[in-house]
Amino acid sequence: MGLILNAPQPAVVPMPAPRLTSYRYWEDYAPKYLRSIRDTVARVIDDQERQRDLFEEAPAAAAFANAPNATVARPTPAAPAAKNETLGNLLSPSQANQFLNCSARWWFKYGAGLADPKGGSLVRGSTVHKCIEHWFKLQMAGAAPEIDDIAEFYEDAWEAQAAEAQFHKDDNIEDLKRSGTRLLRLYLEQVAPEIRPARLEQRVTGEIGGVRVQGWIDQVDVDGRILDVKTAEKSPSGIGSDYAFQLATYRQILPGGNGKARLDTLVNNKTPKLVTIEYEVSVADQFLTVNLYPRVREGIREGLYFPNRNSNLCSRKYCNFADACCKEFGGCVD
């Protein structure tokens, strides 16, 4: 199947230098010198009546030159990297959630561009999603598919998803593949008959809090409700904060959306189980996205990247950047 078990990682790209507006830019300066800069900037504000951009390089350099203690020894930070200005121009809910969970992981994937192949559980989940999408496309085209007719499509979808995967040493690949077929059958028998899809795999774009945002929605039914399917090893107790953030994003950028959603979780027990949770996006949910997207973008552009070693996802099984992370920050990831 062309499985990649131990793909080598590319060399880590250095993180961008901080900008003038970043705390990191100033933290090595002596307090006495920082106070003189503050006083000089205050005078510039008064003189120019706030008409100039205080963060342009020329005014900042003038402030340094006019500072009373300009002869005090101080570090000379590197010029900000041009790439830093373009990072985060277009975000998604998954990017924002990833940055908030572990900013270092965001950097390794989206900033440094290191490979992030799917693991076994994601291969199974993606395969099930592809088959469900295929099922509804056939129905929307006027066909009447039979469950057993999907077997060949499942095989092809699995091969395609697994071709570039990186399975963990503890993954039982054949068991993952078989469990996917059981979960798919459960969905097609118990859920699919009642679904009336209007749109499938719809890309949505918009602006939230002054930030350009995009996303992909699995299904939208004829009533404007978002329908999503996930596979899991354990039954969910409710809607997670990361998924609520995703739904709140879609509520604002999905044309005709009403904020209502349903999550169907296919749980891989000995006997496959279906857990259905209804959810409606609140004003508070939307307010959170308006506040967090700009802050996430600012953190990205300021180069505020560090690992979250307390995260449940910080392990070699769930993160492909363990080696790069240990090399960059130190410590160990098991």
Report the Cα 176 to chain-centroid distance in Å.
25
Q: How far apart are the C-alpha atoms of 106 and 87, rounded to whole Å?
A: 11
Structure tokens at 91: 């975000």
Q: Which of 43-57, 68-82, 112-126 has the lowest mean pLDDT?
A: 68-82
Average pLDDT rounded to a whole number, residues 209-232: 95
**Of the listed ranges 7-21, 68-82, 144-158, 192-206, the one predicted with least confidence:** 68-82
> pLDDT digit string (tens) for 80-103?
344 466 789 999 999 999 999 999
Would the CA dihedral through 325, 326, 332, 334 be positive or negative?
A: positive
Q: What is the pLDDT of residue 81?
A: 44
Beta-carbon count within 10 A of 117 CB: 15
Cβ atoms < 10 Å from Cβ of 282: 14
At 143 the pLDDT is 94
Q: Is 276:263 a contact under the CB 8 Å cutoff?
A: yes
CB 17 within 8 A of CB 81: yes
User: What number is the average pLDDT over the span 162-191?
Assistant: 94
* Residue 12 tokens, joined: 């880590």
Q: What angle do CA 68, 71, 77 make, to 5 degrees?
A: 105
Tell me the mean pLDDT in the region 300-308: 92
DSSP states of 136-172: HHHHHTT----GGGGHHHHHHHHHHHHTT----TT--
Identify which has the larger pLDDT, 188 or 67: 188
Question: How high is the mean pLDDT of the chain?
Answer: 85
Range with lowest mean pLDDT among 67-71, 94-98, 147-151, 206-210: 67-71
Please answer whether residues 24 and 5 qualify as being in contact, where contact means their C-beta atoms are separated by less than 8 angstroms: no
pLDDT digits (tens, 9 = 90+) for 130-162: 999 999 999 999 999 999 999 999 999 999 999
Q: If we measure between CA atoms, which residue out of 33, 111, 92 comes closest to residue 66?
A: 33
Return the domain boundaries, the chain: 23-75
Q: Give the mean model confidence (pLDDT) for residues 6-28.
A: 60
Two tokens at 222?
């004829």
Q: For 236-284, how does the pLDDT look when each residue is reduced to its tens digit (9 = 90+)? A: 999 999 999 999 999 999 998 899 999 999 999 989 999 999 999 999 9
pLDDT at 11: 52
Report how far residue 159's alpha carbon sits from residue 45's, in angstroms, rounded to the nearest whole number. Answer: 63
Q: Would you call 217 helix, strand, or coil by DSSP? A: strand
Q: How many Å apart are CA 113 and CA 9, to the nearest integer?
A: 10
Q: Determine the number of helices (DSSP H) and then strands (DSSP E) in the chain.
A: 11, 6
